[in-house]
């Protein structure tokens, strides 16, 4: 039901492709009335674009998000960690002078960064990328959510936790950071301990520093990434023929479905952004089907989806 891929980044990016569930059959989908709303219930059977092109574009868009995060990683920060490890190893060997030199190097790297960016609170040094793709449809999600509620009502919290773990479709980037206040202070404290001959305490302090780096994360919902890809595809098609209008309409239908899928999976459901974007899609579909100039409306929709993705990530 869910595909999981893990990557490790240390100033390096590794990317894989994600399979998409698009099918090239005639435009057909189910609608249901759920909680008083008319909602696309099953994924549209016709994609509106080539499946391989969608896969490649989703991969490229995901790579862009990862590369943007990689650009924040700092060589100085990584060098500070490497110097700290060398200082720890030197203490183990009884080489106090070498340890002090490495500590001085580590502190200097951090101070260089702070001189450039005095307000910097965290120095990013490495990332782990975790990709999960939910392979079911909205109907499947609702079934899982029903099982979760039942498990909670019965006090089966571990079962509920396992079910909740299935409800993810995202690119998650976890970044390890050096805290700019506590880290250099701890290094300086270790240097003083070495000067006082307290090598064991200095060693413990350095190891503690290395074990207490801070981690933050960014989450990019895959359905929203797919919606962005499809809006770019729709922008490339001229609605000057009935065939092209059908293609654009199908793409818009799939964009709507991906946003509904993202919402059903629980990505920022307390926000009205989904409803606003879906209203824009409905307006666009009407304009496409009445031969109106839709370029400006498409650009507005593209901007809304991009802003929404950045807001919920």
Name the domain boundary from 219, 254, 284. Answer: 219
Range of the domain at 21: 9-67+222-312
User: Could you tell me if 241 and 183 lie in one domain?
Assistant: no
List, for residues 225-277, the tens digit of each pLDDT value. Answer: 999 999 989 888 877 777 888 888 899 999 999 999 999 999 986 666 888 89
Task: Tell me what the pLDDT averaged over the chain comes to.
Answer: 82
Name the domain boundary from 154, 189, 219. Answer: 219
In a domain, 3, yes or no: no
Query: pLDDT at position 186, please?
Result: 94
User: Could you tell me if 80 and 147 lie in one domain?
Assistant: yes
| Distance from C-alpha of 275 to C-alpha of 146, rounded to nearest angstrom | 23
In a domain, 43, yes or no: yes
Q: Report the number of distinct structural domains present in the chain.
A: 2
User: Could you tell me if 137 and 215 lie in one domain?
Assistant: yes
User: Could you tell me if 184 and 139 lie in one domain?
Assistant: yes
- Residue 202 burial by Cβ neighbours in a 10 Å radius (0-12, 13-18, 19+): buried
User: Could you tell me if 48 and 121 lie in one domain?
Assistant: no
User: Could you tell me if 84 and 215 lie in one domain?
Assistant: yes
| Distance from C-alpha of 186 to C-alpha of 171, rounded to nearest angstrom | 34
List, for residues 198-208, the tens digit of each pLDDT value. Answer: 999 999 999 99
In a domain, 4, yes or no: no
User: Could you tell me if 105 and 41 lie in one domain?
Assistant: no
User: Could you tell me if 117 and 211 lie in one domain?
Assistant: yes
Q: Are 155 and 204 in contact (CB under 8 A)?
A: no
Per-residue confidence in pLDDT tens, the chain, 313 aa: 665 555 444 433 333 333 333 333 333 334 433 333 445 667 787 888 888 888 888 888 877 777 776 777 788 888 999 999 999 999 999 999 999 999 999 999 999 888 888 888 888 888 888 888 998 899 999 999 999 999 999 999 999 999 999 999 998 888 899 998 899 999 999 999 999 999 999 999 999 999 989 998 889 999 999 999 999 898 888 777 778 888 888 999 999 999 999 999 999 866 668 888 988 898 888 888 777 777 888 888 889 888 888 888 7
User: Could you tell me if 44 and 105 lie in one domain?
Assistant: no
User: Could you tell me if 234 and 198 lie in one domain?
Assistant: no
User: Could you tell me if 99 and 212 lie in one domain?
Assistant: yes
For the chain, give the secondary structure using H, E and C.
CEEEEEEEECCCCCCCCCCCCCCCCCCCCCEEEECCEEEECCCCCCCCCCHHHHHHHHHHHHHHHHHHHHCCCCHHHHHHHHHHHHHHHHHHCCCHHHHHHHHHHHHHHHHHHHHHCCCCCEEEEEEEEEEEEECCCHHHHHHHHHHHHHHHHCCCHHHHHHHHCCCCCEEEEEEEEEECCHHHHHHHHHHHHHHCCCHHHHHHHHHHHHHCCEEEEEEEEHHHHHHHHHHHHHHCCCCCCHHHHHHHHHHHHHHHHHHHHHHHCCCCCCCCHHHHHHHHHHHHHHHHHCCCCCHHHHHHHHHHHHHHHHHHC
Report the Cα 168 to chain-centroid distance in Å.
Answer: 11
Name the domain boundary from 219, 245, 263. Answer: 219
In a domain, 2, yes or no: no
């Amino acid at each position: 039901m869910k595909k999981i891929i893990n990557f490790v980044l240390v100033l390096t990016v590794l990317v894989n492709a994600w399979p998409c569930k698009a099918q090239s059959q005639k435009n057909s989908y189910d609608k249901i009335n759920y909680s008083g709303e008319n909602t696309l219930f099953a994924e549209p059977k016709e994609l509106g674009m080539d499946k391989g092109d969608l896969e490649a574009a989703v991969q490229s868009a995901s790579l862009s998000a990862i590369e943007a995060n990689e650009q924040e990683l700092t060589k100085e920060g990584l060098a500070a960690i490497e110097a700290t490890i060398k200082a720890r190893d030197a203490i183990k060997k009884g080489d106090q002078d070498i340890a002090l030199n490495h500590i001085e190097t580590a502190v200097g790297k951090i101070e260089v960064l702070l001189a450039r960016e005095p307000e910097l609170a965290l120095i990013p040094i490495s990332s782990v990328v975790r990709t999960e793709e939910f392979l079911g449809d909205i109907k499947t999600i609702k079934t899982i959510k029903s099982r979760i509620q039942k498990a909670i009502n019965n006090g089966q919290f571990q079962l509920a936790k396992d079910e909740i773990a299935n409800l993810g479709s995202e690119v998650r980037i976890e970044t390890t950071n050096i805290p700019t206040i506590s880290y250099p202070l701890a290094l300086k404290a270790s240097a003083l301990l070495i000067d006082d001959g307290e090598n064991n305490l200095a060693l413990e302090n350095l190891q503690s520093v290395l074990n207490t780096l801070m981690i933050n994360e960014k989450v990019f919902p895959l359905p929203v990434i797919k919606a962005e890809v499809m809006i770019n595809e729709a922008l490339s098609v001229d609605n000057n023929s009935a065939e092209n209008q059908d293609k654009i309409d199908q793409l818009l239908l799939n964009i709507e479905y991906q946003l509904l899928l993202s919402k059903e999976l629980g990505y920022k459901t307390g926000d009205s952004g989904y409803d606003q974007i879906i209203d824009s899609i409905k307006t666009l579909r009407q304009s496409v089907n009445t031969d109106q100039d839709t370029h400006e409306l498409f650009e507005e929709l593209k901007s809304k989806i991009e802003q929404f993705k950045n807001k919920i990530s």
